[in-house]
Structure 1
Amino acid sequence: MAREKKAKAKMEQAKGKAKEAVGRAVGNERMTAEGKMEQAKGDARQSKEKAKDTFKH
């Protein structure tokens, strides 16, 4: 289960980076902001999973 959540976090980060890059390329500030938000969400999820692993072992 933890692997699935970690993978989801990585996927959100990658999706966010791509969305941010596309937003910058086309000059769409909203898309850029959405990309940054998705990256932050992925970062938070990844941090949570790492913390859970730390306390688990």
Structure 2
Amino acid sequence: MAEDKKIIFSMFRVSKVTPQGKQIIKNINLSFFYGAKIGIIGLNGSGKSTLIKIIAG
């Protein structure tokens, strides 16, 4: 049986700029599939927490 690839969350062309004008996130596209395990990795200060806050709403 083929694995179901149902998308449960998507976001397209998401960007974030600080009030000081620093671009933290630029044109991110994400799709999360049902049952998938998701990880966000990156260097310190690269926008991981900001991305999670955007996803959380």
Q: Which has the larger share of helix?
A: 1
Which structure carries more relative contact order (alpha carbon 8 Å, separation 6+)?
1
TM range (shorter): under 0.3
What TM-score do the two structures reach when normalised by structure 2? 0.27
